[in-house]
Chain A
Amino acid sequence: MNILVCISKAPDTTSKIAFTNGNTQFDENGVQYIVNPYDEWYALVRALELKEAQGGNVTIITVGGAADDAVIRKALAIGADDAVRIDASATDAYFTAMQIAAYAEGKGFDLILTGKETIDYNGSQVGGMLAEALNLPYIAIATKLDVAGSTISCEREIVGGVQEVEVQAPAVVSCAKGMAEQRIPNMRGIMAARTKPLTVVAPVALDALTTYSSYSLPAAKSSVKLIDPNNLDELVALLHNEAKVI
């Protein structure tokens, strides 16, 4: 089975979030980039498990500049066979998805995986957009993924529960917690990653559909009001009269 795993860089979860240029740009100063955890821990690792069990090839793809080669090498070190970088700034989810779709079209991938969302823009958009652009079935937010022949079976979250579903390959699946466990790359993987093929592809011409015009930070919380553990009536009264939530 030939699997394409879409990965994105994302700031490390402990990064300080700040903005620059009149709050119009993310301040990358001092930010450590990682592979978006949903893309790495679940989509990529599950793809590798399927390949190890059944054979095939795992290609990773990202949309980004040369600075993103570091996160690509990390994903290769975990075990992907080869990588593609579409040489463009990922301006919005639509632009990103359409670039990946343009590359993937006609390449014969049986399964295209994404993380359920990125931890920076949190949109959960690229998987569905890819599926529509490639006219493929889409299973969103899957927590289990198995393949038997050309049948892809998943457990996916639905509103208020879970559902077991099957679909025939090719298909797009977005991956969430439960599907696999994080893998730490070993020295052999890191060495091998240096020489694995990384193809840089020119983007196709298209416009983004959305623009982030600015950013803001939430107002700082005023300091916590401590309540006597023996006076819960006071807390309930405050929740009713002051906070007005009960």
Chain B
Amino acid sequence: MNLVYINSANGLSKAALETVTYAKKLGADVAVVTNANASAETLTALGNYGASTILQDTAINGQDPSQLVKLVAAAAEKVGASTIVFSHDLIGKAVAPRLSVRLKAGLVAGAVALPEPDGSIRVNVFSGKAFGYVRVNSNTRIISLLPNSIQPEQIGGNCSVEAFDGQAGSSNIVVKATKKPEGAIPLPEAELVVSAGRGLKGPENWGVVEDLATALGAATACSRPVADIGWRPHHEHVGQTGVAIRPNLYIAAGISGAIQHLAGVNGSKVIVVINTDAEAPFFKAADYGIVGDAFEVLPRFTEAVKRFKATQH
């Protein structure tokens, strides 16, 4: 049996569907353990992606890794899990390592693909500049899957939801405040991203970036200098010291493409670079390039996307 941990406090994220699909494709029945109060109707949708059983602990609402590790360990024991899958998101990064020690089970952190024929699993190393192939030496293995590494697929059927008590105890982490921007697509999960850098010259000029993002249904991002000088919030900063993302499409306007920026985006499937400087290093990493002024190119890009979308209905 493969076990997947999902946080369902805000419904089912795309990352959650990816982990269930991944666990199903590993080739065994999939049980899901989740906390928080998502409705049974919401959770049964996981059946479509390959889950056969869902264990729901409604007593734990927070994200304390000390509690979640107990919950997942209890579920793993109950279903006899040989593989436990997390999303390599902020919860997975906190909980999976704890579980590795608790169960003495090797952790493949940040898997980007299903196992190779020899059983090793590919991960990004050296900040995306290379791949490593990790072999787990223990009987039980834990895999945390980098978001956007595989597509969710409806390869399952029905599943049942049952109440589960993970005996996770109380939390010793006190939450004082939570700040979440409303409605925004979480950057690590976004399939399409429009990003801009110092070439935009000032925060007041971001309208052209946001217009393109809206037309595409994309998330917005920025380079490090732009976040450092406060033009954009820090959570939009992609790069080695910011968020590492791997969307299907990354559009970069007015970003030269320093090696530290590339480290955060070189997992993108397709990269479009817009820059006035034909010598900008980013063009070497791009699939499509436009040598031109972002202030002229971005609005034209937005109009072209709108024309395209109009033909799709």
Which A residues are closer than 8 A to B by beta carbons?
Answer: 11, 13-14, 17, 19, 37-38, 92-94, 97-98, 119-129, 131-133, 137-141, 143, 153, 156-168, 177-178, 207-218, 221-222, 224-230, 232-233, 235-240, 243, 245-246
Contacts and interface: CB of A to CB of B under 8 A. Distances in A.
Contact of A221 (B89, B96, B285): B285
A214 B64 CA distance: 35
Q: Which 3 A-B pairs have the closest CB atoms?
A: A128-B97, A229-B292, A161-B180
A215 B91 contact: no
Nearest to A151: B174
A119 B240 contact: yes
B93 interface: yes
A69 to B, nearest CB: 23
Contact of A160 (B134, B180, B244, B286): B180
A131 B186 CA distance: 27
Contacts of A167: 172-174
Nearest to A116: B93
B301 to A, nearest CB: 5
Nearest to A92: B106
A123 B131 contact: no
A236 B184 CA distance: 24
B97 A125 contact: yes
A217 B132 contact: no
Given A13-B259, A161-B235, A227-B290, 15 more contacts: A14-B259, A120-B126, A123-B109, A124-B110, A128-B95, A159-B10, A160-B180, A161-B180, A165-B176, A208-B137, A209-B136, A215-B132, A229-B290, A229-B291, A246-B192
Interface of B: 7, 10, 13, 63-66, 69, 89-91, 93-102, 104-110, 118, 120, 123-127, 129-138, 172-181, 184, 186, 191-192, 216, 234-235, 237, 240-242, 244, 248-249, 259-260, 263, 266, 269-270, 272-273, 283-293, 296-297, 300-301, 303-305, 307-308
Contact of A246 (B98, B104, B109, B216): B216
A94 B176 CA distance: 32
A218 B259 contact: no
A13 B97 contact: no
B113 to A, nearest CB: 12
Contact of A245 (B106, B129, B269): B269
11 contacts: A37-B241, A94-B101, A124-B93, A133-B101, A140-B94, A158-B180, A165-B175, A210-B135, A224-B287, A226-B289, A233-B307
A121 B131 CA distance: 10
B126 A11 contact: yes
A216 B130 contact: yes
A213 B288 contact: no
A124 B109 contact: yes
Contacts of B288: 224-227, 235, 238-239, 243
A121 B100 CA distance: 17
A144 to B, nearest CB: 11
Contact of A94 (B100, B129, B287, B289): B100
Contacts of B105: 209
Given A132-B102, A158-B90, A246-B249, A122 B110 contact: yes
B interface: dominant SS: mixed
Given A132-B69, A213-B133, A161 B290 contact: no
Contacts of A229: 290-293, 296-297, 300
Contacts of A17: 126, 129-130
Contacts of B125: 120-122, 215
Given A210-B106, A213-B120, A225 B176 contact: no
A107 to B, nearest CB: 19
B130 A19 contact: yes
B289 A131 contact: no
Contacts of B291: 226, 229
B249 A239 contact: yes
A209 B134 contact: no
Nearest to A220: B284
B259 to A, nearest CB: 6
B124 A160 contact: no
A160 to B, nearest CB: 4
Contacts of A153: 176
Nearest to B171: A137
A165 to B, nearest CB: 5
Contact of A125 (B66, B100, B124): B100
Contacts of A92: 106
A239 B72 CA distance: 41
Of the candidates B130, B178, B249, B300, the one having the most CB atoms from chain A within 10 angstroms of its own CB is B130
Contact of A224 (B89, B126, B273, B301): B273
Given A129-B98, A133-B101, A213-B120, A232 B304 contact: yes
A217 B303 contact: no
Contacts of B283: 224
Contacts of A160: 10, 180-181, 184, 186
